[in-house]
Amino acid sequence: MDAIFIPQLTKAPERTEEIQVQEFLPGLETLTPVRGFVRVQHQGNFLQVFGQAETIITCTCNRCLQQYNQRLALNTQEIIWLDETANQAEDLPLEREVAVEDLLETLSPEGYFYPSEWLYEQMCLAIPQRQLCDRKCPGIKPVAASNSDELVDRRWSSLENLKKQLPES
Ligand SMILES: [Zn+2]
């Protein structure tokens, strides 16, 4: 996926560019290529980014630790503010208080938009925090269950034997 030079976007038809996606994203482990599109529209002082994509990922169940495959689908949009000072932010001392506005995505109006990175971030956000192979997953099977039954039975039987050995009262 090529980076989009933001000033170039203003000359595109409807100031919009749509990138078809059918590839593995670097850093994102998926079983199938990510398929979909990213559409970017230049709105003057911000970019409106819309993305639709899907892929299949391998998850590890939080309860039983088994791996299972899950479809990951994305249908999201985001506004990215264009701000000349966007690139200077990193030069500021780290201990400065972070204003709320700084938490929003900003890019320099003379900079680039990277559809691949944006999609990667969105996909990461879409990965479920709580992964379950099944809503009714019983968790890790108590492996010793059947053995402990036998153990209990044996204990009972030895108790029975003991009783038999005791003189009748
Ligand atoms: Zn499970």
From the list 101, 61, 99, the residue with the least C-alpha distance to 79 is 101
Residue 163 has a pLDDT of 72
Helix (H, G, I), strand (E, B) or coil at 150: helix
Residue 165 predicted with pLDDT over 60: yes
How distant is the alpha carbon of residue 158 from its chain centre? 55
Across 1-5, 52-56, 148-152, least confident range: 148-152
Q: How far is the CA of 69 from the centre of ligand 1 (A)?
A: 12
Residue 78 predicted with pLDDT over 60: yes
Q: How far is the CA of 65 from the centre of ligand 1 (A)?
A: 6
For 76-108, the DSSP string reads EEEEEEE-GGGGGGGGS-TTSPPPGGGGS-EE-
Assess if residue 152 is contained within a domain.
Answer: no
Q: How far is the CA of 58 from the centre of ligand 1 (A)?
A: 13
Assess if residue 79 is contained within a domain.
Answer: yes
Residue 168 has a pLDDT of 63
Q: How far is the CA of 25 from the centre of ligand 1 (A)?
A: 27
Backbone angles phi, psi at 22, to 5 degrees: -155, 75
Assess if residue 148 is contained within a domain.
Answer: no
Number of domains in the chain: 1
Residues of the domain holding 86: 4-139
| pLDDT band of 95, cuts 50, 70, 90 | low
Q: How far is the CA of 90 from the centre of ligand 1 (A)?
A: 43
The percentage of the chain sitting over the pLDDT mark of 70, rounded to a whole number, equals: 75
Q: How far is the CA of 30 from the centre of ligand 1 (A)?
A: 20
Residue 166 has a pLDDT of 72
Burial (0-12, 13-18, 19+ Cβ within 10 Å), 32: middle
Mean pLDDT of 88-105: 55
Q: How far is the CA of 79 from the centre of ligand 1 (A)?
A: 37
140 or 116: which leads in pLDDT: 116
Residue 55 predicted with pLDDT over 80: yes
Assess if residue 144 is contained within a domain.
Answer: no
Tens of pLDDT along 14-54?
999 999 999 999 999 999 999 999 999 999 999 999 999 99
Residue 100: left (phi > 0), alpha (psi -120 to 50), or beta? alpha
Q: How far is the CA of 20 from the centre of ligand 1 (A)?
A: 35
**Backbone CA torsion sign across 117, 120, 126, 131:** negative
Residue 153 predicted with pLDDT over 70: no
Q: How far is the CA of 157 from the centre of ligand 1 (A)?
A: 37
Assess if residue 161 is contained within a domain.
Answer: no
Q: How far is the CA of 19 from the centre of ligand 1 (A)?
A: 37
